[in-house]
Structure 1
Amino acid sequence: MFKLFSRNTAITTKELENDLSEKTILDVRTPGEYRTGHISNAKNIPLDKIATYVGDKETPVYVICQSGMRSKRAAGIL
């Protein structure tokens, strides 16, 4: 997972789970992968659509995927 706007810092899922602050979680997997299971508050925005994401710049954004490769690419795009 990569927290945007702070140099793409990677964190563990446990750290994300323990962070109770307001945050946006973007799941960049395909809709089919997302349907098989996802974090409850995550928004599904597939990697090929990530450039269309517009969010609140004051809220931390975390990008997740299956292995970390797509989330790293998505963080670079954002």
Structure 2
Amino acid sequence: MRNAYLFPLLAAMVSNLPAAWGTDEMTPYPATNVGFVRMVFRVPEVENEADRKVEIIVGKTLMVDCCSGLMELDTSK
């Protein structure tokens, strides 16, 4: 009786080995161009997916000069 359960259990374990080893989660997506990065965002599972909201803000951080214009002072005598 024990052997009857052992084979299906072993078969299920062996069939899940690639998932246990960890597959590349980027495989379904195309390769990026130079200077770009592919990212995966993992959010916790919730019971109702309609209640889940994710906001992704894409931008670039740059050093800027706040005084890019001419600073002139008009004085009168």
Specify if TM > 0.5: no
**Higher CA-based Rg:** 2
TM-score normalised by the chain length of structure 2: 0.20
Q: Considering fraction of residues, name the structure with more strand.
A: 1
Using CA pairs under 8 Å that are at least 6 residues apart, name the structure with larger relative contact order, 1 or 2: 1
TM-score, normalised via structure 1 length: 0.20
| Greater helix proportion | 1
